[in-house]
Amino acid sequence: MAVTRFDSVALPSARIDADGFLHDQPILTRSGVFIYRNPDGSMRREYRPPEEVFRADSLASYKGKPITIRHPTEGDVTPKNARKVSVGTILSEGRQDGETVRADIVIHDPAALGSYRELSVGYRVDYDPTPGTTPDGQPYDGVQRNIETNHLSVLPRGKAGRIARLNLDGEEIFENEEEKPMAKIRLDGIEYEAAPEVINALNKESKRADEAEGKVTETQKRLDSVTAEKDGLQAKVDGYPAELEKVRKDAAEALAENVKARVELIYTAAGFRIDKAEEMTDQEIKIAVIKAVRGDSFDPAGKSDAYLDAAFDLAKSDKRNDAMADQRKKASAPPNQRQDTEELSAAERRQQMIEDQKNAYKGDKGGK
């Protein structure tokens, strides 16, 4: 777990060069067990092994890092705040001096120090929460590994000679044992005093809350979209019974039309005295009807459905015209010249009977 730490040591006597810059080679930190205060007030002992403190890349990380008055409220020094907070520079890599680390430093604005004389390194570590005991028998709760320096700060002298400060990842507290003016923060329209580290932590938490609220808003939008889609699908499902009923009705009507057309087609075939029409397809019946009119020489091969339908309609029309002409001919003939098989009307039968009686009388009279 990567966290930020601030550790401090005393600033020894220093010299001022011809340009007014302050130079020194102070002890910046040490190896050993450091005590930190947890948020609940309990203490936590973290071990800085010599192999981690004096590791080559860790010592190299001191060179060129900025020096500040107090630790920045942002926690780390970055390109965005370096010009505002920097008052000096670490000139060299860190070097081992017994159990401590020294380095060459320069303060460009000594007047900014005021009465501050204590140094505190701001650095990042990977915290290993595995407890154990140091070689000299000191117990610890975890180990600091991969130490990387970010900046060096000058602080007012503390009552106990070292200062534990807020851990900027917002999970661990580093208490400052000195009394100092508190910074101010406004919450819900009310202004409160708080340590800069607390304000920084609150700002980070506020940012996280804003991000969380943004995610909630985005999630709500997605939920609304899914709900709208669900409602649309439900509307389709609700409409399915009516749609299915319409399909059934249309299918029934289509079936009825097909049955009616089939019956009419077989009835037409009977009028043309076509045998076993019920065993034929619709197209075969139409061809048989056409041949009944045109003769067997009619060849349907290669003829389109539209052509056969038109020829079939024409054959039916010819049949109706012939039937009407025959009826007109029979109606205009004298009753006694009509076919015996033709059914006469009541008036025609009465007239026929009268005529027969007259003819019968004449025949009998002539015989006498």
Tokens for 289? 């009807």
pTM of the model: 0.43
Distance between CA atoms of 314 and 266, rounded to whole angstroms? Answer: 17
Name the burial class of residue 227, with classes exposed (0-12), middle (13-18) and buried (19+) by CB atoms within 10 angstroms of its CB: exposed
Pairing of strands 22-24, 183-187: unpaired
| Window from 125-129, 150-154, 183-187, 217-221 with minimum mean pLDDT | 183-187
Q: Write the pLDDT tens digit of every residue in 111-153.
A: 887 777 788 888 889 999 999 999 999 999 999 999 999 999 8
pLDDT reported for residue 328: 60
User: Which DSSP category does 108 fall into?
Assistant: S
Q: What angle do CA 267, 269, 272 make, to 5 degrees?
A: 115
In eight-state DSSP terms, residue 67 is E
State the average pLDDT over residues 57-77: 91
The per-residue DSSP string of 139-183 comes to: EESEEEEEEEEEEEEEEPPPSSS------TTSSSB----S--PPE
Distance CA(60)–CA(92), nearest Å, equals 8
Percent pLDDT > 70 in the chain is: 71
Please name the helix (run of DSSP H) or strand (run of DSSP E) that holds residue 266, with its range, or none.
helix 196-271
Q: Give dist(CA 333, CA 337) in Å, integer.
A: 6
Confidence grade of residue 47 (pLDDT, cut at 50, 70, 90): very high
Which pLDDT value is given to residue 122?
A: 87
Q: How many residues does the chain have?
A: 368
Name the residue with higher pLDDT: 35 or 198: 35
With H, G, I as helix, E, B as strand and everything else as coil, classify residue 260. helix
Sorted by where each begins, the domain ranges of the chain are 2-179, 181-246, 272-332, 334-368
In degrees, rounded to 5, the angle at the alpha carbon of residue 122 between the alpha carbons of residues 117 and 126 is: 150
* Tokens describing residue 73: 């409220």
End-to-end CA distance of the chain: 152
* Cα(114)–Cα(236) distance, integer angstroms: 78
Question: Cα-flanking dihedrals φ and ψ of residue 170, to 5°?
Answer: 80, 5
Q: Which residues pair with 89 in a beta bridge?
A: 66, 106
Token digits of residue 15: 């010299």
